[in-house]
Structure 1
Amino acid sequence: MSNGFDLKDIAEFYSKKSDSDIIHIATQNARGLKPGVLEIIENEIKKRNLNPNILEGAKAQNKEYSLEEINELSQKLRSLPCPLCGSKTAKLNGTIMHTVKSFIVFSSFRKEPIIACPDCLDKKNEESIASTALLGWWGIPGGILQTPIYIYNNIKEKKENRVTESNGTLLGFTLQNVGQIETYKDDAEKLKLIIKYVKK
């Protein structure tokens, strides 16, 4: 944004944004913003009487976190009900569904993170394995080459679904969404929306 823009131009730009745009920028797209721009966003948040935690989300995206800090934030997600089955009995964790679907000359490759209880994570990895084993082979050459790798990756991910601590996928998800999680860390309903699984 600094290319040809001074802070006055940037302030005017943000003043024309809607409240939802400001919230989205501050909680999800503030990584790399200069301190002057963060101050402009802070002014907009105050002027509009928005939740002051939104600014914490912007700052969080521009902060270096230790593994311990990310692990601590991930615990906020682990204690939520499972977004797939609603169970509250098991701590949540993360997995990645690796899926290949091939159509002779075209292959589709997806790596989709999911946060859920261990039982649901296992089911999702098993669905990916079955789907990839059935539909992955038919693309030349991508499907033939990638299908065994994606099946193996699902098996490997599945082994991490029941570890007692936050696994690598959950920690990565937490870091990637740190702005939103910092903003809403005391609002369980908002956190549920962050981890909600939306089938693509």
Structure 2
Amino acid sequence: MHSIEEIKENYKGFSDSKIENIARNESKGLRKEVLGILKEEIEKRNLDERLITWVDAETNTLTDFEKQTLIRKIENLKCPNCGLKESKLIGQEFNTIVSVILFCNDTTENRILCSNCGRNKKIKSFLINVSAGWWSRRGILLTPYTLIKDTINFFYKKKINDRIIAEFIEHNNGMFRLHGTDDETLFGLISWHNNDYEIPETDEENNNE
């Protein structure tokens, strides 16, 4: 582990853009003394003062009570997909494979939806997998694995829900501290999460030969 003096010297040598990137994206994982060095560099360089506000918000972690209250609020929001409030929102995982000869695209999407929208999306993913997942060497192996995984996941819905909701709360800690946790803010963040949060794995098989 580097000493504080070594870290100070390192930060002095960082570019403005690197300091800004650390403040925006990495401050949550920094030790308290390193946060002080980061904020000092922001002030010295006359960078945007809102960076310090963001660092303070990101590192002011929600308490367990706040997290539990937030989970209940999330569950009782209207669905960001259909706009209805007929059932509790659930964190759900969707795996989709599309492959053609030398190309295989394997995507995992984590979404927070009502049970009806989740069921419809599961059916859509299943139909895509059984019709378009087999048409490459990697797809032949990956498609049955994914179909089995989705079947097993059916028995671990609560565990998957807890993980996805926890990741959503952790990822948006700073936003909650800055903007609160009213229904409108939560709905907007979940809508953004559902549109942008996916983990694609693209493989062009000819690159592996």
Matched, 1:167 2:164: no
The range that moved more, 101-110 or 173-182, is 173-182
Confirm or deny: 8 A CA contact 1:137 1:147 kept in the other structure: yes
Q: In 2 relative to 1, CA 36–77 (structure 1 residues): closer, same or farther, beyond 3 Å?
A: same
Give the 3 Å change call, closer, same or farther, for CA 122–115 of structure 1 in structure 2: same
**Aligned counterpart, 2:27:** 30
**Which residue of structure 2 lines up, in the alignment, with residue 137 of structure 1?**
134
- 1:101-140 equivalence runs, <5 A: 101-140=98-137
Name structure 1 gaps, 5 residues minimum.
none
Q: How many Å apart are 1:38 and its aligned residue?
A: 2.6
What is the RMSD computed on CA atoms of the aligned residues? 4.1
Distance (whole Å) between structure 1 residues aligned to residue 86 and residue 23 of structure 2: 33
Amino acid at match of 1:103: V
Question: What is the Cα deviation at residue 119 of structure 1?
Answer: 0.9
Q: How many pairs were matched up?
A: 188
Deviation string 1:138-162 (CA, Å, 9 cap, x unpaired) is 111x21111122123333445566x
Partner deviation per Cα, 1:114-157 (whole Å, 9 max, x = no partner): 111111111111111111111001111x2111112212333344
Residue of structure 2 equivalent to 1:155: 151
TM-score, length of structure 2 as denominator length: 0.65
Deviation at 1:53, TM superposition (A): 7.8
Q: Which residue of 2 aligns with 1:193?
A: 188
More helix by share: 2
1:78 maps to which residue?
75
3-state SS of 2:135 partner: coil
Specify the code of the residue in structure 2 equivalent to 1:167.
N
The 1:74–1:27 alpha-carbon spacing in structure 2 relative to 1, beyond 3 Å, is farther
What's the offset of the Cα at 1:40?
Answer: 5.6
Bigger radius of gyration among the two? 2
**2: CA distance, partners of 1:186 / 1:89:** 21
Q: Percent identity?
A: 24
After alignment, is 87-96 or 71-80 more displaced?
71-80
Distance 2:131 2:166 in 1: 30
Q: Distance in 2 between matches of 1:79 and 1:180?
A: 22
